[in-house]
Amino acid sequence: MRSSILRSLCCLLLCAAGCGTAHTGEDAGLDAGPRSPLLQVFFTAPVAVGGGVAGFDTACNTSDRRPYPDVEYAALVMSDARRACTSANCSAGADALDWPLVADAEYGELHALVFRTDANAIVTEVPPRRLSPVGNEFNFWSGGTGDWTPAPANQCSNWTSRSASAEAIVGWTGEPIDEHFQGGHGLVPCDMLLPLLCVELP
């Protein structure tokens, strides 16, 4: 009887020390459920211009708003070093340069579809939604026009200048995504702080 009680106490002590919740070895990130099959998009907190496209990419990959911390992200901006098209809506064919979107893919916020891309890796097919609810709209850094071509004169010197006299084209989350939300929504001074739209790299 005594040995049975001792064995029971030993089991209880061992379980208290090492039983608990199992550790899977995976970082759950912001998603407590199954991993989404969609390539992820998210907005950073407002950031300053100054480090070029590489600095923006770093801001994406160090943001505490990343849906999954174990994947790589890039900023959806345009510059001399990053573009989607050189002709309106890539009408002359695909001519992307370091463009972070990929062709024929689906992008989302966790499991919610945000947009799809076409064969030229630009957004053409989307569900009827916006990037933020009405009343919570905001600008974000872009540097691109409404037809997916760069605007070199309005990119804060390739995102290296914080001069208040220079200006950049910005996107607007209040635009329906199928109305070229990413560009052509006006100009802001380069000394402002604005969020970045970041996309997951496959």
Query: Does residue 178 register a pLDDT over 50?
Result: yes
Give the span between the Cα atoms of 7 and 117, in whole angstroms.
62
For residue 33, what pLDDT is reported?
67
Query: How large a percentage of the chain has pLDDT more than 90?
Result: 66
CATH class (in words) of the domain with range 35-200: alpha beta
For residue 187, what pLDDT is reported?
95
Query: Does residue 22 register a pLDDT over 90?
Result: no
Pairing of strands 39-43, 106-109: parallel
What is the token pair recorded at 96? Answer: 């992307």
Give the span between the Cα atoms of 144 and 154, in whole angstroms.
8
What is the layout of strands, in order, in the sheet containing 123-125? 73-75, 197-200, 39-43, 106-109, 112-117, 123-125
CB atoms within 10 A of CB 51: 14
For residue 40, what pLDDT is reported?
97
Query: Does residue 4 register a pLDDT over 60?
Result: no
What are 92-147's pLDDT values in tens digits? 987 899 999 999 999 999 999 999 999 999 998 777 777 877 778 899 999 999 89
For residue 79, what pLDDT is reported?
97
Model confidence at 61, pLDDT cuts 50, 70, 90, reads very high
Mean pLDDT of the chain: 83
Model confidence at 25, pLDDT cuts 50, 70, 90, reads very low
The mean-pLDDT minimum among 36-40, 91-95, 100-104, 176-180 falls in 176-180
Model confidence at 5, pLDDT cuts 50, 70, 90, reads very low
Query: Does residue 24 register a pLDDT over 50?
Result: no
